[in-house]
A and B are shown apart, each in its own frame.
Chain A
Amino acid sequence: MGERRFVLLMLMPAALFLGFLVSYPVALLVYNSFFEVSLIDPSSRVWVGLANYVDALTSKRILESALRTLKYSAFALFFELLFGLGAALLFAAIAKRSQWHRTIFALPLMISPIVAGLLWRFLLVGNIGILNYGLAALGVIPDPGAIKWLSDTDIVIYSVAAADIWLTTSFVALVSYAGLTNIPQDVLEAARIDGTNAVTRFWYVTLPMLRPVLAVVVVVRGIDALKTFDLIWIQTQGGPRQASEVLSMNIYQRMVRYGDLGQASATATLFLVFMIGLAGLAYWKVWRTGND
């Protein structure tokens, strides 16, 4: 057997898997988006052409959800990178002694988003939440009801991101730590001999060499954050007054709760195209960086 045939053979299971379990549902999604079709009775469908797309693109509600999704993702990603990279640098600084720290730090990764969401809901909720009690005891806020983390429409989208940050900072830290251990020590040693301080070494040596790893983290976590659903749903169900509704939630509601398969499919298709574009752009950037 030639090498080429062997490679094709090895690819076959994955190709079949993707073919049946990804391509077919995606094709069906796109197909449904051109019809007015009820979830409960998909046989009685009416062709509406691009009407569902026009509705989706002109809907203020969907636009607001999309912008909120970007806001949520940018906020969560920024802090995950900040805390994750910070933790990775600390682990690298204490080298092998960080074994236990890394293990403990990775624990939130084992928790399901639903459980984490529920946990944070009861941490953040006013009057009975531990967070506000702690802040009130420290004198930061006058009483445990002073900050309405989950009911103030101005801050709720950031409050629900706290659970995401807590849950996945460890992922960013572990991947970044793996990247840090791959930076050749002689380059850092050379910079040290040249008289650079820690900040300069980080900015001019560590960070540029970590760029491909960070790009992967941004792509993986970014896409993950954009399609977040369960974590927010369990905390607020998109409320109050839809102030924490992200796009995936809008699609879910339209499809599952309202049974409007056509409209939901059109929005989901637009979301999919956006995500594919974003992923393509990010991978191209990573690939280009790797070839520089």
Chain B
Amino acid sequence: MKKTLMCTVAAFTLATSAAQAEGITVLVEGGGHSLQQAVADAFTKETGIEVTFVEVPYQGVYDKLSAEIASGTSNYDVATIDVVWNAAFAPHVEDLSELFTEAVKADLPPALLADANVGGEMIGMPTWANAEIVFYRKDLWEDPANQAAFKEQYGYDLAPPATWQQWRDMAKFFTKDGMYGTDVIGGTSEEWMAEVLQAGSPGVILDDSGNVILDNPAHIEALENYRAPLCEDKSVPDNALEISWGEAQNLFYQGQTAMMKFWAHAYRMTPEDSKIAGKVGVAPMIGGSAGIAGIPGPWYNVIPSSSQHKDAARQFIAYAIAHNALGIEAPLGLAATNSAYQSYMGKPGYEHFGPLMATLSAPATKGRPLNQHYQELVDEAVMPAFQGALECEDNVAELLQEAAATARDILGQ
């Protein structure tokens, strides 16, 4: 009897530990969960390894993972993190270089590969990527009366804007009948950062060597151009500092703006009861002297050094990138690899993938600086200068020089 009992206990213990080994826990933000659920289901079916998602709000990913690392314990085997945290977590996650095979590298936009590389190690695998593209009202652009009037006024055909000048011209043209041409977002600075790259800057805020370039000619030129619709053309709502992503989207959906720059995923999310439903067209991000450029918004799968199931975690990450297209059916409908996007090219409802790929793959597209003080640089140096410029009074060059001095102070340069 005793022997039977001991055998049962031993079998139970083995079964339990085997079950534990056959499961991984993934820390993820809400949107990321839905994008990875299909791939997790397929992975479990194929390998038998269970995938449990711990879903937290956006900031919760950073908070929980840092607390985990700080405590030295491990609850998470994989964490899906925003690119802006790559530098901060780099010393505390596994090097995934061996997962970046030639095939994987060839299938990813260069900007996403560059963002994965921190200090010579590939610290994370892209899971999906987003970028701002141009959203415009097809009904307005295709209206013959508008086309004729625009050509007469500006001397060229009305088509989706592709350059800085066209953007300003069209914004001015459509500022009529109680509608604004577009909006200027003052709550966050990413849209201006994209213009900094379009103006030919070697980076945003910092160059590749980590030197502060916040006051270089491209930053100044881009900020002058960014605020022009607000301060000179009056083709946008004048409360730019109150406008962030949500407000910009609302203005467009309410028919108060004719066009906007916005993250590509929104193309499939136009509310059905919106007065512009079915009338939205998309185009690649506009270009400056350096051509099209965007700030990618990729997320990366990383393996915390404290993970107890690193092999299973690696298997999951390798499987996820190989089956990247599975996430596209999720509400956000995003992926990271070129092949995933290409597999949906031409399908109705996915017209935004072309402009998104064109933007992500543009030579001037580049990620935000991989610096562990990035958030502090933005909050303390960039935002005061950026928002100061949008009050339309101060000199842009002087504001950016002050911001650069603050940034150098933060970095001890």
Contact = CB atoms under 8 A, between A and B. Distances in A.
A148 B239 contact: yes
B376 interface: yes
Contacts of B384: 241-242
Interface string B212-256: 000000000000000000000000011111110001001100101
A253 B247 CA distance: 24
A40 B242 contact: no
B186 interface: yes
B354 interface: no
A196 interface: no
Contacts of A128: 247, 250-251, 254, 256
A151 B66 contact: no
Residue among A42, A149, A240, A257 facing the most chain B CB atoms (10 A cut-off): A240
Contacts of B59: 256
A127 B375 CA distance: 30
B118 to A, nearest CB: 14
A24 interface: no
B247 A148 contact: no
B241 A145 contact: no
Q: Which 6 A-B pairs have the closest CB atoms?
A: A151-B241, A126-B239, A240-B241, A258-B376, A151-B242, A240-B387
A275 B376 CA distance: 27
Nearest to B388: A241
A41 B240 CA distance: 38
A237 B243 CA distance: 12
B242 A150 contact: yes
22 contacts: A39-B70, A40-B69, A40-B88, A40-B92, A41-B70, A42-B70, A127-B237, A127-B251, A128-B256, A148-B238, A148-B242, A151-B241, A151-B242, A237-B187, A239-B187, A239-B387, A240-B241, A241-B387, A256-B59, A257-B375, A257-B379, A258-B373
A86 interface: no
Contacts of A240: 186, 241, 387
Interface string B258-279: 0000000000000000000000
B251 A257 contact: no
Contacts of B207: none
A151 B184 CA distance: 13
B30 to A, nearest CB: 15
Given A41-B70, A127-B237, A128-B250, A241 B242 contact: no
B280 interface: no
A98 B379 CA distance: 49
B88 A239 contact: no
A71 to B, nearest CB: 20
A243 to B, nearest CB: 9
Interface in B40-57: none
Interface string B161-172: 000000000000
B176 to A, nearest CB: 15
A150 B242 CA distance: 6
Contacts of A149: 242
Nearest to B62: A256
Nearest to B376: A258
Interface in B355-391: 372-373, 375-376, 379, 383-384, 387-388
A125 interface: yes
B139 interface: no
A120 to B, nearest CB: 12
Contacts of A108: none
Interface in A207-242: 237, 239-242
A259 interface: yes
A284 to B, nearest CB: 38
Given A150-B242, A241-B384, A258-B373, A127 B187 contact: no
Contacts of B187: 237, 239
Interface of A: 39-42, 125-128, 145, 148-151, 237, 239-242, 253, 256-259
A25 to B, nearest CB: 13
Contacts of A126: 237-239, 242
A151 B186 CA distance: 9
B157 interface: no
Nearest to B241: A151
B186 A127 contact: no
B63 interface: yes
Contacts of B243: 125
Nearest to B247: A125
Nearest to A238: B379
A125 B70 contact: no
Contacts of A241: 383-384, 387-388
B241 A239 contact: yes
B241 A127 contact: no
Nearest to A149: B242
A209 to B, nearest CB: 45
Given A42-B70, A258-B373, A259-B66, A145 B239 contact: yes
A158 to B, nearest CB: 15
Contacts of A237: 187
A127 B66 contact: no
Contacts of B247: 125, 128
A164 B152 CA distance: 53
Contacts of A41: 69-70, 91-92
Nearest to A256: B63
B242 A125 contact: yes
Contacts of B376: 257-258
A242 B388 CA distance: 11
A20 B63 CA distance: 22
B66 A40 contact: yes
Contact of B88 (A151, A242, A253, A259): A259
A41 B91 CA distance: 10
Contacts of A125: 239, 242-243, 247
Nearest to B240: A151
Residue among B66, B69, B256 facing the most chain A CB atoms (10 A cut-off): B66
A143 B113 CA distance: 48
Nearest to B63: A256
A128 B186 CA distance: 15
